[in-house]
């Protein structure tokens, strides 16, 4: 059991899990915009880019004040060599996979990389502004998992494409707010003001719930507009229901594993259910 926990910690806290979530959302997008191409080269690139960015920013984390502060941050502090190794693997994988993608990928992704760095480097830290923090995070995820795949697949930016981008943006808002609830104490120690600080934990949770309900409604609109099939719609609605339940369970009292495995897991859940619905 101890070995399994160590492996799980590496996958979760080493950001392999969330990197897989990126790939799942990319594939979900391609199915929702009715693209036959899976863009394998871009999916590989998005995996390594996520692995790099998420581990690279962990290098700048402050050492936790005590072990009760955060299981995740304690693990990161104790495994800096592994974190740096994953960042190096991510950087190398990104650099290699770029050459297997359209050259335009640099135009699309370099500004996002700069934005990600500005988000967490100590002397700028865009994340110190509560609304800018959320908007930056959600915008980058929406661009990487929805906008760029649409651009690479040469899909016309029609009403359906715009609708899907809105759907993804709303979904990302709904699952990003709970992480601010998780980090209430840590953000306070770092002098970072977030939405839960401004609205309170309970109101922040209901705000996330409202966005998740809106996400479900927009998925139905995708179906009614003929954009997605009935099985794919059913998969997305099922994901919305499960994700809503997880969002409503979010609390400062929940463990790190609930957020990293549960909230981030909604991305893998969406991709997995959509892939199954599309091909079974």
Instruction: Report pLDDT digits (tens) over 40-79.
Output: 999 999 999 999 999 998 887 766 555 556 788 889 989 9
CA dist., res. 32 & res. 60, Å (int): 37
Confidence of residue 126 (pLDDT cuts 50, 70, 90): low
pLDDT for res 140? 92
Q: What is the mean pLDDT of residues 220-226?
A: 94
Report the percent of the chain where pLDDT is more than 90.
56
Q: Say how many Å lie between the first and final Cα of the chain, rounded.
A: 34
pLDDT for res 93? 97
For the chain, what is the mean pLDDT? 88
Does residue 114 or residue 49 have the better pLDDT? 49
The mean-pLDDT minimum among 46-55, 141-150, 209-218, 257-266 falls in 257-266
Task: Tell me how many domains the chain contains.
Answer: 1
pLDDT for res 156? 75
Residue 16 has pLDDT above 70, yes or no: yes
pLDDT for res 201? 80
pLDDT for res 123? 58
Q: Is the pTM here over 0.75, yes or no?
A: yes
CA dist., res. 3 & res. 50, Å (int): 26
pLDDT for res 187? 64
Domain range for 156 is 2-279
């Amino acid at each position: 059991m101890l070995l399994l926990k160590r492996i799980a910690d590496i996958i979760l806290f080493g950001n392999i899990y969330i990197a897989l979530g990126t790939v799942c959302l990319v594939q979900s997008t391609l199915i929702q915009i009715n693209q036959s191409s899976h863009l394998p080269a871009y999916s590989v690139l998005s995996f390594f880019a996520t692995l790099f960015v998420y581990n690279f920013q962990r290098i700048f984390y402050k050492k936790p004040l005590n072990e009760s502060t955060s299981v995740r941050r304690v693990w990161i502090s104790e495994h800096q060599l592994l974190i740096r190794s994953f960042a190096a693997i991510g950087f190398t994988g990104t650099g290699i996979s770029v050459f297997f993608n359209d050259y335009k990928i640099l135009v699309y992704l370099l500004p996002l990389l700069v934005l990600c760095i500005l988000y967490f480097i100590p002397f700028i830290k865009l994340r110190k502004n509560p609304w800018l923090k959320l908007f930056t995070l959600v915008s980058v995820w929406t661009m990487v998992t929805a906008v760029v795949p649409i651009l690479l697949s040469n899909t016309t930016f029609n009403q359906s494409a715009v609708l899907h981008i809105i759907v993804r943006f709303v979904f990302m808002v709904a699952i990003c707010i709970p992480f601010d609830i998780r980090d209430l104490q840590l953000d306070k120690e770092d002098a970072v003001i977030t939405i839960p600080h401004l609205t309170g934990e309970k109101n922040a949770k209901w705000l996330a719930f409202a966005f998740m309900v809106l996400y479900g409604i927009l998925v139905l609109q995708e179906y009614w507009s003929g954009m997605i099939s009935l099985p794919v719609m059913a998969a997305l609605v099922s994901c919305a229901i499960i994700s809503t339940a997880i969002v409503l369970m979010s609390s400062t009292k929940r463990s790190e594993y609930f957020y990293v495995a549960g909230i981030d897991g909604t991305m893998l859940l969406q991709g997995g259910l959509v892939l199954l619905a599309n091909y079974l």
